Chains A and B, each alone.
Chain A
Amino acid sequence: MSHDPLNVITLVSVGAHPVTGRARRAEQDARAVDLGLSLAGKELHLLHAGDPQAEALRAYLGMGLAEMTVLQQPPQADVLPALGNYLRHAGAQLVLTGSQAETGEGSGMLPYLLAEQLDWPLIVGLAEVESVTGGVAQVLQALPRGQRRRLQVRLPFVASVDNAAPEARQSAFGPARRGQLQQQEVAVVEDALLEEAQLQPARPRPKRLKVIKAKTGAERMKAATAKASAGGQVLTDMTPEQGAEAIFALLRGEDVLR
């Protein structure tokens, strides 16, 4: 890839580890930072709206950046206006975000609302920027199961990054400790959501049982008495051809032969 370094801003947030809930760099945001580093190198600009004292933010600096801008916001604030105002004047060509925050609501709406507010196009699930020529970027979008789609989009644009983007580089202690969090005071807009909604510990969702929609008693009986499929079919003493046929049938049935 050889093009002029882009002016890239990556939005970062404080994440929470899925097992322990400890504050950390958010997985997708870290991937967005990595992608930004590969596009803009050390010129990458990091932006966070929230608490400038949050230690977890340093993990992003540990990826090799000297500083980040923090728009000071209390926990209950709606950060969108602050981010939008900042970005409108920052002269960025590309704004990268994760797809979904790891704390709070985590609705994943931020990149959409930001794109709407700035009136920029939005690329969802950015995997790679292939080239930028004449203000038009050719990018790859990640689809489920490792598939990719090639898109063309005019700069500037917003792109969200999900777990299909390349894994984020390691965060190192030294640069994380040295990095500077540049604090900026901005207007605060309260978020009304939490007045009517409440966060509660996640309830485990019941595993859906095999719903038996039997029309007749016989079907119900059959469904109830069918051997619970513990252990599968074991084919012994077969010719290789018969074995292959059995496997082939299963692969056909699962529709994985393309």
Chain B
Amino acid sequence: MSDIIRRDPRSEWIARNRLHPLHASLQALGASWVGPSGLIRKNPHAVAFVGPNGLKRIDRSGAQQGGGGKRASISAAAQLPLHIIEQPSFHIVVVPDMVGGRLSSHDKDLLGLASMLAGSEGAVVAVVFGEHKESAFDTAGVDRLLHIQGEAFVGYTPEQRIMALRAVDDQLAPRHWLFPDSRTGGGELGRRLAAKLGERPATRVWQVADGQCIGRAGAGQQDLARRAPRLILAAAECADPVGETRHEVRAIELEGTLAHSLTRIDNLGAVAVDPALTPMAEAEFILSGGNGVRDWELFHQAAEVLGATEGASRVAVDDGFMPRDRQVGATGTWVTARVYLAVGISGAVQHLQGIATCDKVVAINKDPGCDMVKRADLAVIGDSTAILQALIERVSEYRQGDLRDVA
């Protein structure tokens, strides 16, 4: 944000208007607070400010309070109104994926859908298994949080979780169960529960409105419109996430103890997958080399240090520097990486077609005019060998620093 001080008439107006819900947050820090006895206290000395000519001024217009403070801090401090459901007449239960212990954007969309279905009467219950790192359940729209912990729920434990969810079903008899229809857990868990409960779910749902839901069917060329069933597996962007309200995230407990059944599937843990062997179409971080790569040894080293899957342009493959199955582009593999780091690739049309769905493209190239640089979100112009070298050093340094922190 720029350092130029600008007047913000709106916040000045809020500062003057004591009935405005955001009025309190715009008062100068420390000017008023709730004292230990519950009374609102004011510091009369903080009300005033020193004007340009050195005199202390009190300005009731709000211009100084509103415009003087850092706007960034004001908006951050702005509190959303709290949505409280004391006695819910029904429950909408959401089982978020919690990828990496946090709500994914898919989860947030789902919670948005849930609070839409809950309206002002129902409560949105989030069921979270195991440890989590999420701190923003309130703004995501969680009224009740059912946190199910225990050894039995760590890692991949679909059978245990279904047992728990059945208990939740008995306890809350939710009006709707919502699962993210994702490959990261929700799709599987939702279907397992549906099979267990004998409920026919709606899957790949992308719209729920007026008791009707629409989901993709078949190979994606058709939609299936039907009455919204009790179990809904919704696609990403099925609804807008909650944004206008805060929710209380009241903790609830599962009544009774869970019976521990014998599991039939044992999790032996994740398998170390060499990123170099990851199929390119699935890789999330690709380091791709082209005609401009001079030192292939260094390139392979860089891929190893960065932990990236290797890719190549057609020319690099033709010249025999890389195997054919590593070719990216319309004539090779279409990739969907989140980050695509293109070294010395000028960006033929076919190649750019192949990386069209990549989120962030970074180019290292010596020609600032080439098409890859135009496509890239970040382009560094210069000698690829030197830049790769520097990048390897920088990342190794970071990795070592990491190790020190751990130690």
Q: Are B273 and A147 in contact, CB atoms less than 8 angstroms apart?
A: yes
From B36-44, B143-151, B222-230, B311-319, the one touching the partner chain is B222-230
Interface residues as binary, B359-386 with A (CB distance below 8 Å gives 1, 0 otherwise): 1111010001000011011111111001
B 303-317 contacts with A by CB, 8 A: 306-309
Q: Are B380 and A149 in contact, CB atoms less than 8 angstroms apart?
A: no
A243 CB–B CB distance under 8 Å: yes
Chain B residue with minimal CB distance to A120? B264
Residues in B neighbouring A254, C-beta threshold 8 A:
285, 338-339, 359-360
Chain A residue with minimal CB distance to B212? A197
**How far, in angstroms, from A15 to B220 measured CA to CA in the complex?**
12
Residues in B neighbouring A121, C-beta threshold 8 A:
159, 264-265
In the complex, how many residues of chain B place their beta carbon closer than 8 angstroms to a beta carbon of chain A?
91
**How far, in angstroms, from A116 to B195 measured CA to CA in the complex?**
7
Smallest Cβ distance from B145 to chain A, in angstroms?
Answer: 23
Smallest Cβ distance from A121 to chain B, in angstroms?
Answer: 4
Q: Are A102 and B223 in contact, CB atoms less than 8 angstroms apart?
A: no
- From the candidates A107, A240, A241, name the one contacting B201 in the complex (CB within 8 A): A107
B15 CB–A CB distance under 8 Å: no
Interface residues as binary, A154-172 with B (CB distance below 8 Å gives 1, 0 otherwise): 1001000010100000000
B194 CB–A CB distance under 8 Å: yes
Q: Are B219 and A152 in contact, CB atoms less than 8 angstroms apart?
A: no
B269 CB–A CB distance under 8 Å: yes
Known: A124-B188, A148-B270, A232-B377. A198 touches B391 (CB 8 A): no
User: Count of A-B contacts with CB under 8 A?
Assistant: 253
Residues in B neighbouring A2, C-beta threshold 8 A:
none
- From the candidates B362, B373, B383, name the one contacting A240 in the complex (CB within 8 A): B383
A219 CB–B CB distance under 8 Å: yes
A134 CB–B CB distance under 8 Å: no
Smallest Cβ distance from A89 to chain B, in angstroms?
Answer: 21
B191 CB–A CB distance under 8 Å: yes
Q: Are B265 and A151 in contact, CB atoms less than 8 angstroms apart?
A: yes
Q: Is the interface of B mostly helix, strand, loop or mixed?
A: mixed
B271 CB–A CB distance under 8 Å: yes
A135 CB–B CB distance under 8 Å: no
A187 CB–B CB distance under 8 Å: no
Q: Which of A102, A219, A232, A254 has the most CB of B within 10 A?
A: A232
A60 CB–B CB distance under 8 Å: no
Smallest Cβ distance from A129 to chain B, in angstroms?
Answer: 14
Q: Are A149 and B271 in contact, CB atoms less than 8 angstroms apart?
A: yes
Known: A112-B192, A199-B222, A200-B222. A152 touches B307 (CB 8 A): no
Interface residues as binary, A213-244 with B (CB distance below 8 Å gives 1, 0 otherwise): 10111110000000001011111111111011
Starting from the known contacts A124-B188, A148-B271, 4 additional A-B residue pairs (CB-CB under 8 Å) come to: A103-B218, A113-B195, A164-B279, A199-B222
Q: Which residues of A contact B (CB under 8 A)?
A: 15-18, 21, 101-109, 112-113, 115-116, 121-125, 138, 140-141, 143-154, 157, 162, 164, 193, 196-203, 205, 208, 211, 213, 215-219, 229, 231-241, 243-248, 250-252, 254, 256-258
